[in-house]
Amino acid sequence: MSTSQLSSIRRGDGIYGLPFTPEEARFILIPVPWEPTTSYGRGTARGPSAIFRASQQVDLFDLQYGRAWEEGIAMLDVDPDIVRWNAEACAASEPVIAVGGDVEGDPELQARVDRVNVLSAQLNDRVGALTRAWLERGRIVGIVGGDHSCPYGAIAAYAERYPGMGILHIDAHADLRNAFEGFTDSHASIFYNVLTRLPSVGPLVQVGLRDVCEEEVSFIENSRGRVIPFYDTVIGERLCDGEPFNAIADEVINALPQDVYVSFDIDGLDPSQGPHTGTPVPGGLSFRQVTALLSRLRHSGRRVVGFDLNEVAPGPSFQKNDGSNGAHQDEWDANVGARLLYKLIGLTRLSQGGSGGARAPKMTAGVTRR
C-alpha cells in the first residue's frame, strides 16, 4: 500500500488515526478509566485517553502482524457513568487505603469499603454487558484500563462464549488475593475472582510474576494445575544458564488450551517500559521478549479470542522546549501501551484467520545504519 493511500486512511479521528465507527469496525475497544483500589500510585484511569493520543503516531504496518487495522478498529466513547462511579469510588477508598485496609471497629471506614464494593460490582456488570452486546454482533472486544480489576466483566462474557478458554496473564503480580484491603474487586484480586467465580475458565498461565504474597503462592500450589506460574526469578535463572527465551516461551504456550484470552498488565514489563504504572517492580520481561512470546502464541495455531491492556499511566506534565506554550504530558508509557495494544489486535486478528501478515524483514550482517 502506498504512502498516499495510508495517509488517506489516517485522516480519521479515531484511535490510531483511523476513520472507522464502531458499526464499521471488527475490533471494539472499551475504555475503562477506573482506579479506586490502586494501592500505591494512581494515574491509570488516565491510561485509555493517553493511549488514544499516543496511538496517532503508531505506524499502521506492523512487522509481525502486517495491516492490523484492515478490518477496522474503533474505541468507544468513555461511559460517563463509569467516570462518575470512579470519582465516587476513589473518594471513598482513599481513607481506607491510607490505613492499609484496617477498618475493623470503624463503621465509617467499613461503609466506605461497602460502597466501593457496590460500585465495583456495577462496573463489572456494565463492562460485561457492553462486551456481550458487541460479541453478539460478531465483534472482537478489547478492554483498555484502568487498573487490572477493569476486565473482569469482559472475561466473564468471554468465558460464557468460549467455555474452557485459558488465560495468558502477563504481570508482575499474581492478582490472586482475596478481597485485598477489604475490596472484593481489587486490582489485586481479579484472578482470585475469575477462578473462584467462573468455573468454565481453563488454565491461568501467569508470566513474569515477581511480587507475590504467601497467600497467593499457596493458592497457586493448591490449584491442582489450574494456575501455572512462570516466575520472573526462574525465567532469569534459565536465561542465565544459556537457555533460549523462545524455549521458555514455547513452554508457556504449550500450557494453554486452544482458545486463549490475553490479559496484559503493563507492569509485567521491565519498569523502564512503563515507569509510571501504579505498582512498578524491578525485573520483568523486555519488550522484545513480550513480542517474541506473543509471536510464538500466534504461530502455535491457537485462537486468541479477546484481550485487555491495563495499568498504563501517563507520566507527569513537563515543559517542552519547542516554542509552544504550556506543559506537555510525558507519554512514554502510553507510547509503549499503544504499540502493545496494536500488536494484541494484530495477533488476535491473524489467530482468527485474518490476512495481511507481515513480510519477514531482511537481515543484513555487518551493516550499521547511521
Binding site, annotated residues for Mn(2+): 148, 171, 173, 175, 265, 267
CA angle 221, 225, 226 (to 5 degrees): 100
Give CA–CA dist 230/203, Å, rounded.
13
Q: How far apart are CA 260 and CA 306, in angstroms?
A: 7
Angstrom distance (rounded) from CA 370 to CA 178: 53
Amino acid at 237: E
Q: Within its chain, how far is the Cα of 75 from the centroid?
A: 15
Q: Hey, what's the torsion of the CAs at 96, 98, 102, 107, to 10 degrees?
A: -40
C-alpha cell at 147: 487498573
CA 213 – CA 221 distance, rounded (Å): 13
Three-state DSSP class for residue 292? helix
Binding residues: 148, 171, 173, 175, 265, 267
Distance CA(35)–CA(333), nearest Å, equals 17
Region of 43 on the Ramachandran plot (φ > 0 left; ψ -120 to 50 alpha; else beta):
left
Number of Cβ within a 10 Å radius of residue 162: 21
